[in-house]
Structure 1
């Protein structure tokens, strides 16, 4: 399954906007790596007491081009975020008639929370992720043409780092899922405890309900 396959559930316009923004982000990250590689001939020319003008012009050109492409990618990310939120709202509206009346009141909180926050994903989360993956890869690939041994050492060092980051990501995901599960349980107990106040007061025994609620709240910490 492709990484972008979940986007098929979005409207065509939102999907095209996300893919377009991703393309500009990839180009900006590649130019960032090339600009970093342009420092190598500049430094070598400086220490060899040769003319640094060609290398400096190359670095300046790549830097300006990367800044321009990065600006376009950022704007495309904002537009893609707006399209993503609009697509999610559109899908929610289509599923609205299928929901029971008791759950339709929760849609307002859903739109204000996760759907609204999704607008920042392309510009603020996707772009740094693409840069963190593509730019070092471009630097390592470029170093193979300049200093193969150094590039090989960096590539070998990347493998344990990638494994560590992958483990940390899975660990963070597991902890986040556990936290959400505990929060849902605490919320359900709190709602049940509040709804049954009349029955608890008439029975004169609120100790068991309070104990379960306190235990659920304690698990959140």
Structure 2
């Protein structure tokens, strides 16, 4: 039997996503629950059409919804990545109506994805390798010629890759260099390409630096991360 909370939530969602084709109820069944599709245009200057399908099983919201993500603007891998992030967010939320919060989270996921693509493009142009570590703090590790690293930092401060509280694209003015260190072939850093990696805790962040044989550098920047 469908929960009253789910039915009430769909009613509220219908008033929020009231544009033509924004919200569709795909299924309403006492045994299998509700399936609600929300079509949204998200991202920065390049607006992307993304469709989210939420399956609200009868125990919902005591259990999180199943989620599907599709988009003609994104690859299957990108859709799967967004889906995993939304499922993780849903599992972390308290057992209460959450669909609207997850749709809002979609905007953040796409913004981060676009920022990652921009940083990867710069690293390729400047012949840099590195890591983009996403978590409580966003960290960029770069390896390459010093002038190229300086140019990367200049781009980060002057090109609109961040988003302000109003959702408008803005420049990353809070960026600061935590440490500069010479590198040598004998250091054995495992940096290849420009890889994006997420972390949830300081131990996971420490493990990422350890994987790159940069434990000493991590220890040096740790006070800045803990402050």
**TM-score scaled by structure 2?**
0.24
Q: Which has the higher strand share?
A: 2
Q: Which has the higher helix share?
A: 1
Identify which of structures 1 and 2 has the higher relative contact order when contacts are C-alpha pairs closer than 8 Å and 6+ apart: 1
| Structure possessing the higher radius of gyration over alpha carbons | 1
**TM-score scaled by structure 1?**
0.24
